[in-house]
């Protein structure tokens, strides 16, 4: 029996609520076989369609085995974030409204949400009031957009219109990145024709922070050239922050463009307790961050800010004359993103911020840091466990010596084995990384719902994996 649209949506609401209810107790990462997953869905496109309710039931059955509980309180892999209930709700409505957010005239409500939420975010992060903002898919797209603006501005100053003429024959831009820059900085450079391998990599310290003295030394022979410097707030391994004030100081005499990748670390600026880590942030030219990580908005949602709105807009939009260009104050969102037609991401971001307020955002970020520090304190107190990083944000790096002790290679192997056992156990999920040539377990706290009890349960599961009973 075919359900009415109202009944179909009610059925989905029930399924979604069941999923949310299951999150606190469901195994976080389920072992799945790719062949078994494939077998559930016929490879051949059916000739005749199926009933929508049956299609949804089939998807939901697939999801029961094949979605990872990243939305739950004990997912600590990568830096993923969950979703605030209010943001899920806003996102449901966004799908239902089916807005094309590119143009103001297609969705005045979204354009206003972006304008307002963009202003709130500038205030939260302490960015210049005149900075432009784009609501993009994620921090990869945000880094791309910001570096496109940089490319425009640097070449414009050198008398070259890169959007019109391309890079063939253009003056060369010198690009400097910290040795610990996120891979998406390199991808952005690759996509922009600035080259992944021709960058100057600047030395970092033991926590992965760019060294201002090394930056100054790298800049010295480049004086007078167009220069782009990419700094980072929040290292994906250690959580460490490049010293932005010192970097801004070093960069200034060179007239360089300073970009800050702060996918999750930028959120430190929203907390009075943590804002010291990003002192000097406002002196950069562009900033990239995510809403789908630590703001706990649904995927996909990233944000780019630029202190030079004209460069931002020139880099990303070629005005098409058939478009209805609104005069005056209305803002066309497409001018600030690489996309043209796109999802109305402004609703969920606005809803998340409206429901949290300034204090709620700060509390959420501070709680994440407190949870990471709790992990570090409890695990670090156990024999054979070493905390490798200064836990200044939400990231904890750990190594596990084998029960009988052993050398560095044995500790590498036991650390990997412990990670494998934790993943198999399913109480929580985390993954491994390599830090300074050594295997490490990486714990990242970025879910709004993670509480002390989740940390303590996870600590017990991790220690049980690292210290199996003898025999
Ligand atoms: C996650 C991350 C990115 C990329 O962000 P996406 O949202 O995955 O595109 C960039 N930089 C840093 C530091 C990150 O942690």
Looking at residue 29, its pLDDT comes to 82
Mutation pick for ligand 1 pocket among 236, 303, 444 (CB with most ligand atoms within 8 Å): 236
* Radius of gyration (C-alpha) of the chain in whole angstroms: 24
* In-domain check, residue 165: yes
> Are 401 and 327 in the same domain?
no
Looking at residue 31, its pLDDT comes to 76
Q: In angstroms, rounded to a whole number, what is the distance separating the alpha carbons of residues 471 and 166?
A: 67
Give the tokens for residue 29: 């990462």
- Does the C-beta of 261 come closer than 6 Å to ligand 1? yes
Nearest-atom index, ligand 1, CA of 264: 15
> Cβ(256)–Cβ(284) under 8 Å?
no
- Does the C-beta of 236 come closer than 6 Å to ligand 1? yes
- Does the C-beta of 81 come closer than 6 Å to ligand 1? no
- Does the C-beta of 235 come closer than 6 Å to ligand 1? no
* 385-387 sheet: strands from edge to edge: 385-387, 395-400, 438-444, 431-435
Could you list the residue range(s) of the whole structural domain that residue 383 is in?
Answer: 360-465
Among 353, 371, 386, give the residue marking a domain's end. Answer: 353
Which residues face 228 on adjacent strands? 175, 257
With the CA atoms of 347, 351, 354 and 356 taken in that order, what torsion angle do they form, in degrees rounded to the nearest 10? Answer: -140
> Are 191 and 288 in the same domain?
yes
Q: Which residue, 239, 189, 224, is CA-closest to 201? A: 189
For 73, 365, 400, 452, the CA distances from 457, given in Å and listed in that order, are: 11, 21, 18, 9
- Does the C-beta of 182 come closer than 6 Å to ligand 1? yes
pTM confidence score: 0.96
Give the tokens for residue 337: 């993103």
Q: In angstroms, rounded to a whole number, what is the distance separating the alpha carbons of residues 163 and 143?
A: 18
Q: In angstroms, rounded to a whole number, what is the distance separating the alpha carbons of residues 94 and 182?
A: 31
- Domain total for the chain? 2
> Are 172 and 314 in the same domain?
yes
Nearest-atom index, ligand 1, CA of 300: 7
- Does the C-beta of 393 come closer than 6 Å to ligand 1? no
> Are 320 and 213 in the same domain?
yes
> Cβ(26)–Cβ(72) under 8 Å?
yes
Among 300, 326, 353, give the residue marking a domain's end. Answer: 353
Looking at residue 32, its pLDDT comes to 82
| φ, ψ for residue 250, nearest 5 deg | -70, -35
| φ, ψ for residue 152, nearest 5 deg | -60, -55
Q: What is the pLDDT of residues 126-141, one digit of tens each?
A: 999 999 999 999 999 9
- Geometric angle at alpha carbon 332, from 146 and 98, rounded to 5°: 105
Residue whose token pair is 């969920």: 348
> Are 344 and 379 in the same domain?
no
> Cβ(313)–Cβ(99) under 8 Å?
no
Mutation pick for ligand 1 pocket among 78, 79, 140, 230 (CB with most ligand atoms within 8 Å): 140
- Does the C-beta of 181 come closer than 6 Å to ligand 1? no
Q: Which residue, 185, 236, 232, 242, is CA-closest to 80? A: 236
Structural element, H or E, at residue 146: helix 139-157
* In-domain check, residue 35: no
Q: In angstroms, rounded to a whole number, what is the distance separating the alpha carbons of residues 424 and 422?
A: 5
> Are 197 and 330 in the same domain?
yes
Task: Give the orientation angle of helix 452-466 with respect to helix 408-425, to 10 degrees.
Answer: 130
> Are 420 and 327 in the same domain?
no
Q: In angstroms, rounded to a whole number, what is the distance separating the alpha carbons of residues 266 and 286?
A: 12
> Are 377 and 451 in the same domain?
yes
> Are 310 and 396 in the same domain?
no
* In-domain check, residue 58: no
* In-domain check, residue 252: yes
Q: What is the CATH number of the domain that holds 191?
A: 3.40.640.10
* In-domain check, residue 437: yes
Distance 263 CA to ligand 1 centre (A): 5
* In-domain check, residue 75: no
Among 302, 323, 353, give the residue marking a domain's end. Answer: 353
Q: What is the CATH number of the domain that holds 378?
A: 3.90.1150.170
* In-domain check, residue 51: no
Distance 69 CA to ligand 1 centre (A): 20
- Does the C-beta of 282 come closer than 6 Å to ligand 1? no
pLDDT in tens, the chain (471 residues): 689 999 999 999 999 999 999 999 988 987 788 888 888 888 899 999 999 999 999 999 999 888 889 999 999 999 999 999 999 999 999 999 999 999 999 999 999 999 999 999 999 999 999 999 999 999 999 999 999 999 999 999 999 999 999 999 999 999 999 999 999 999 999 999 999 999 999 999 999 999 999 999 999 999 999 999 999 999 999 999 999 999 999 999 999 999 999 999 999 999 999 999 999 999 999 999 999 999 999 999 999 999 999 999 999 988 644 544 545 578 899 999 999 999 999 999 999 999 999 999 999 999 999 999 999 999 999 999 999 999 999 999 999 999 999 999 999 999 999 999 999 999 999 999 999 999 999 999 999 999 999 999 999 999 999 987 765
- Does the C-beta of 218 come closer than 6 Å to ligand 1? no
> Are 348 and 366 in the same domain?
no
> Cβ(400)–Cβ(411) under 8 Å?
yes
* Cα 360 to chain centroid, rounded: 19
Residue whose token pair is 């960058």: 199
For 68, 179, 190, 223, the CA distances from 219, given in Å and listed in that order, are: 45, 15, 22, 7
Q: In angstroms, rounded to a whole number, what is the distance separating the alpha carbons of residues 78 and 442?
A: 8
- Does the C-beta of 139 come closer than 6 Å to ligand 1? yes
Q: Which residue, 352, 376, 350, is CA-closest to 365? A: 352
> Are 237 and 117 in the same domain?
yes
- Does the C-beta of 440 come closer than 6 Å to ligand 1? no
> Cβ(72)–Cβ(329) under 8 Å?
no
> Are 260 and 349 in the same domain?
yes
* In-domain check, residue 456: yes
- Geometric angle at alpha carbon 124, from 118 and 126, rounded to 5°: 100
Q: Residue 470: exposed, middle, or buried by beta-carbon count in 10 A (0-12, 13-18, 19+)?
A: exposed
């Amino acid at each position: 029996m075919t359900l009415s649209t109202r009944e179909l949506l009610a059925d989905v609401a029930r399924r979604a609520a069941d999923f949310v209810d299951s999150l606190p107790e469901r195994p976080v990462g389920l072992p799945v076989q790719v062949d078994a997953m494939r077998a559930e869905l016929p490879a051949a496109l059916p000739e005749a369609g199926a009933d929508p309710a049956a299609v949804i039931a089939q998807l939901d059955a697939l999801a029961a085995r094949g979605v990872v509980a990243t939305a739950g309180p004990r997912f600590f892999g990568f830096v993923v974030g969950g979703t605030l209930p209010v943001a899920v709700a806003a996102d449901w409505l966004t799908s239902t409204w089916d807005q094309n957010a590119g143009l103001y005239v297609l969705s005045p409500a979204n354009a206003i949400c972006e304008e307002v939420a963009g202003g709130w975010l500038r205030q939260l992060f302490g960015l210049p009031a005149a900075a432009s903002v784009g609501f993009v898919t994620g921090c990869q797209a945000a880094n791309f957009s910001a570096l496109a603006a940089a490319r425009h501005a640097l070449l414009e100053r050198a008398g070259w219109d890169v959007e019109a003429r391309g890079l063939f024959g253009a003056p060369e831009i010198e690009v400097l990145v910290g040795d610990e820059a996120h891979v998406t900085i390199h991808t952005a450079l690759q996509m922009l024709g600035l080259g992944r391998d021709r960058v100057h990599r600047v030395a970092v310290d033991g926590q992965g922070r760019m060294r201002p003295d090394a930056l100054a030394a790298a800049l010295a022979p480049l004086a007078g050239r167009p220069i782009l410097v990419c700094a980072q707030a929040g290292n994906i391994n250690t959580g460490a922050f490049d010293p932005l004030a010192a970097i801004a100081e070093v960069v200034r005499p060179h007239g360089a463009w300073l970009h800050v990748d702060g996918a999750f670390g930028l959120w430190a600026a929203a907390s009075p307790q943590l804002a010291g880590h990003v002192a000097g942030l406002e002196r950069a030219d562009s900033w990239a961050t995510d809403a789908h990580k630590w703001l706990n908005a649904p995927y996909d949602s990233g944000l780019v800010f630029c202190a030079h709105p004209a460069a931002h807009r020139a880099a990303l939009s070629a005005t098409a004359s058939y478009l209805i260009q609104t005069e005056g104050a209305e803002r066309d969102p497409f001018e600030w993103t690489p996309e043209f037609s796109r999802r109305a991401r402004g609703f969920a971001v606005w809803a998340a911020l409206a429901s949290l307020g300034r204090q709620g955002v700060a509390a959420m970020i501070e709680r994440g840091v407190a949870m990471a520090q709790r992990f570090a304190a409890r695990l670090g107190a156990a024999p054979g466990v070493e905390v490798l990083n200064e836990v200044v944000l939400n990231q904890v790096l750990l190594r596990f010596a084998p029960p009988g002790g052993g050398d560095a290679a044995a500790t590498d192997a036991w650390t990997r084995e412990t990670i494998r056992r934790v993943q198999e156990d399913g109480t929580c999920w985390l993954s491994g990384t390599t830090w300074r040539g050594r295997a490490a377990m990486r714990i990242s706290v970025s879910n709004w719902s993670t509480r002390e009890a989740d940390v303590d349960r996870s600590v017990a599961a991790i220690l049980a994996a690292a210290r199996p009973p003898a025999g």
